[in-house]
Chain A
């Protein structure tokens, strides 16, 4: 199974960011906005949720690259002798980071999958900012949303009426 996934040329499309960007646009347009395939709200919710999580996943990995995968420029003399710049990475730390990222996101996807199969709109603890945002675009109201929260002044005006 893993062999066929890793070596499949069709699935490699998902590896390059520009194609993913275009495909996500197509998916959102036809599956969520225009509702061409008439998916249920639960499916639409999960599609948007996965897109949001994929962005978070990409962000985590790119911040790793930015902060820890350092390119250290060697002195000009070395560069002149064609030793060039080299990339310094703590390999052990990198492997631990990538393994943890994989495990956390994999468990997250499994949790969301099983919740959605049970017909529930999955919520992630301490991540209401994400789930509420997804729910907002599908016009779903959640208890943690601050929909229609009134200012104190308005409440007093209502009481006077």
Chain B
């Protein structure tokens, strides 16, 4: 029973590894073929997170004043 469980676990890990390898090789191939586009995608992600962080940092403090900015009214009401 225990042996059976271990073998199931091992095969599951093997499958996950193959899927991950497939994704990683896909990424590698894409970035070697189109380095500029890959770079732009990476930069877009980085700056997206920077803007999200800015939004949270500002809005947390604005909400703590007990004030809701008017441009957010349609979202929350």
- Answer yes or no: are A and B bound together in one complex: yes
Q: In the complex, A91 Cα to B68 Cα: how many Å? A: 12
What number of B residues sit within 8 Å (CB to CB) of A?
A: 29
B4 → chain A, closest Cβ, in Å?
36
Counting residue pairs across A and B whose Cβ atoms lie within 8 Å, the total is 82
B60 at the A/B interface (Cβ < 8 Å)? yes
B65 → chain A, closest Cβ, in Å?
6
| A42-84 residues at the B interface, CB under 8 angstroms | 42-43, 46-47, 50, 53-54, 57-58, 61, 64-65
Task: Report yes or no: A98 in contact with B54, Cβ–Cβ below 8 A.
Answer: no
Main secondary structure of the interface of A (DSSP, over half): helix
Task: Report yes or no: A98 in contact with B50, Cβ–Cβ below 8 A.
Answer: no
Q: In the complex, A112 Cα to B44 Cα: how many Å? A: 11
Range class of the A interface residue count: 35 or more
Binding site for A on B (CB under 8 A): 31, 35-36, 39-40, 42-44, 46-47, 49-62, 65-67, 72, 75
Could you write out 30 A-B pairs with CB less than 8 Å apart?
A: A5-B55, A6-B72, A11-B56, A14-B49, A14-B56, A15-B56, A15-B57, A15-B60, A20-B53, A42-B39, A43-B42, A43-B43, A46-B43, A46-B46, A50-B47, A53-B50, A54-B50, A58-B57, A61-B58, A61-B61, A89-B65, A94-B65, A95-B62, A95-B67, A105-B54, A109-B47, A109-B50, A112-B47, A113-B47, A117-B40
